[in-house]
Structure 1
């Protein structure tokens, strides 16, 4: 299992914790809807939406802002890859505006 290891040295003793990745397998059967040039579009959108939802749980405002910046960049990349006519939105407004 992959993880992020976080270590602290307290009174000369090193303490480490492995923070596990939480991954739920996502698979969509191919379907004949746009964008035809981006087979993993729904899978990628599901992952980005899930990260966005979890980002609201980040307590540090600087970390949260950097995470949201990365999400906005991911949305831009997805829209560019998908091509004209694809607008990615989430309930509550455009992802680009958050």
Structure 2
């Protein structure tokens, strides 16, 4: 389980990105890079990092399922992910 502070910080970043998305798009279209620099740093999309929805883990993230590899394995073994079954040959 990730630290709660890291998960909360990432959620705040996501909120900032959504808040400034339209303004950022307009400034880029105009070519006003000085105004872009005055926006908050965390309002940039590139500062976001994908985290597992269940555990908050930042590494081993499977974007299709939005969970980490560890949580994915647990859910797959429990049969909670439709269409996924353990390979055997």
- TM-score after normalising by structure 2: 0.35
Return the structure number with greater strand share: 1
Does 1 or 2 have the higher relative contact order (CA < 8 Å, sep 6+)? 2
- TM-score after normalising by structure 1: 0.32
